[in-house]
Structures are given as C-alpha cells and as structure tokens.
Amino acid sequence: MSNAYTAMNAAWREKLSALVDHLSDADMARAAGGRGWTVGGLLGHLAFWDQRALLLLDKWKKEGIAASPMDIDVVNESMQPFLNAISPREVRWLVKEASIAVDAAIDALDPAFLARIEAEGKPVRLNRGTHREHHMAQIEKL
C-alpha cells in the first residue's frame, strides 16, 4: 500500500541510508550541533524517534489512539549520552532498520485508521522525512 507519506518518507530514508553508508567511524564520533551531540548520537536520535513512532502505531492499532505525553526536551537530553555511546556499526544498523520499519508501518495503515491518526494521533509524525531532513542538514553542514 501507499499513502500521502510514502514518497517523502522513502526519499528521505534512502538519503539517510546513503549518508550513513558514507560516514566513517571518525565522522560518527565528531561533535554535531554544539550541544554535546555527536553525529552518531544524532543518528541514534533519529532511530529512537522512528522506533517510538513504530511502537505507538502498533499500540494504537491494538488499544485505540490515546495520548502519549512526554517532555521531548528532557527525553532528548537524557538520551544524549546513551545515544552518543552507541558504536558506529550499531548506529548504522539501528537508524536503517528503524526507518525501514516505521515507513513500512505507515505505508500499511488502513486509510480510515490513517485519517484518525492524522486527526487524533499527536505526537506521532507520519511524515518521518521532515525529522530526517532536519538532522541530516545538521550533519551535512559539518
């Protein structure tokens, strides 16, 4: 199946995969963003949020759409040291696998359920490409 998000998500997933394949282990360890993040940490951040979206979609299919509030800034800051510490090899695998899985889950959504998520499903972004684009631009500026 496909929907309004398929092309954008696929395009940015492919760009993300190409970027990840191009980065050396030394590149992954470089500082990024000036707030303590490394390139690998930013990629791990993308994997984390893709994985969270995937799990919420699955939960909502089973239990119905419900709020899942959190303080995003606190989550990002608390995850930073852990994400920065993941090996480049693992980050490459995690970011690719999470992006493939969440994009496939979004592509497979029943149109009626997709419409309900669009109306009720905050904070899941079905357009995963915008988040990928943002952090890839940060990395490419280095």
Average pLDDT over residues 6-12: 98
Domain range annotation of the chain: 6-140
Neighbours of 140 (CB within 10 A): 9
Residue 122: per-residue pLDDT:
81
Per CATH, the number for 6-140 is: 1.20.120.450
3-state secondary structure of 32: strand
Residue 62 in tokens? 């089973």
**Alpha-carbon distance 92 to 84, whole Å?**
13
Q: Phi and psi dihedrals of 37, rounded to 5?
A: -80, 150
69 prior amide bond cis, ω within 30: no
97-137 tens-digit pLDDT? 999 999 999 999 999 999 999 999 887 899 999 999 999 99
pLDDT at position 33: 72
CB atoms within 10 A of CB 88: 19
- Please say if the pLDDT value at position 34 is more than 90: no
